[in-house]
Structure 1
């Protein structure tokens, strides 16, 4: 499950990051008023953040999958991986990186862009029902997204 979660998040952030540069105008509209600088600055910055998160999540997930697989093969052969103190490490280095750094950064990023979802819901309050429903649904759906991202590497 943890590798599937990593693959999904890497894909989501990769696609979103590319869209920030390919079609920036809709993202500019999500930037709350009152922030210093232009909306495009925030669109570009969040696009870069999403591309970086995508690459790091994909890389760590792939390395963890290989480390997990080779650890499982070694155990089948009667060997056990040991850390420097002679104990068996509970997770791979990549999984530790995901759990300790990438998961909190990803959850934090999703929390940071949440006001943009709220702004979209407010701005779209007079649009047709289907568009309003999408905009309003994005606000509470951010909670399970944050919780899922916080579980990266687990």
Structure 2
């Protein structure tokens, strides 16, 4: 397993654990129009575990890369919502805004894994 794949697998696994061990943190960034925050927190945690599993298995790694890229794009609206939600709190806004550009290398790395021949 290449370093990039190992890092993405680890990040997804840790994020999945965090969604179940500290769900309140993630509930707070689910846009209200989506309905039950806890449902989306757990669903995204399951998706992260699933993507990590796909990446960890050589036979499903390409699918895992594509699924992870899609997941990273899919959660981006929650990151934007968080910026808006914490706009009047300078510290919260700074943290939320710092997360936005982090999604770019995550999507890029995931997409690169999907097309890698190894």
* Matches for 1:93-108 after TM superposition, within 5 Å: 94=59, 97-99=60-62, 101-108=63-70
CA distance in 2, matches of 1:121, 1:21: 23
Query: Counterpart of 2:46?
Result: 48
Gaps of 5+ in 1: 61-93
- Matching of residue 151 in structure 1 with residue 112 in structure 2: yes
**Is 1:31–2:13 an aligned residue pair?**
no
* Matched position secondary structure for 1:106: helix
**Equivalent residue pairs, number:** 115
Checking the alignment, whether the CA contact within 8 Å between 2:52 and 2:64 is kept in structure 1 is: no
Whether 1:138 and 2:99 are equivalent positions in the alignment is: yes
Q: Distance in 2 between matches of 1:24 and 1:43?
A: 6
Q: How far, CA to CA, are the matches of 2:105 and 2:54 in structure 1?
A: 21
**CA distance in 2 between partners of 1:102 and 1:58 (Å):** 8
**Which of residues 117, 126, 129 is equivalent to 2:88?**
126
Query: Which has the larger helix fraction?
Result: 2
TM, length-normalised to structure 1: 0.69
Q: TM-score, normalised by structure 2?
A: 0.88
Matches of 1:144 and 1:20, distance apart in 2: 21
Provide the rounded CA distance (Å) in 1 between the counterparts of 2:19 and 2:33.
21
Whole-angstrom distance in 2 between the partners of 1:47 and 1:27: 10
Q: Which runs of 5+ in 2 are unaligned?
A: none
**Could you tell me which of 49, 56, 71 is aligned with 1:109?**
71
SS in 1 for 2:75: helix
Shift of 1:11: 0.5
Task: Report the RMSD for the aligned CA atoms in angstroms.
Answer: 1.6
Alpha-carbon distance, 1:46 to partner: 0.3
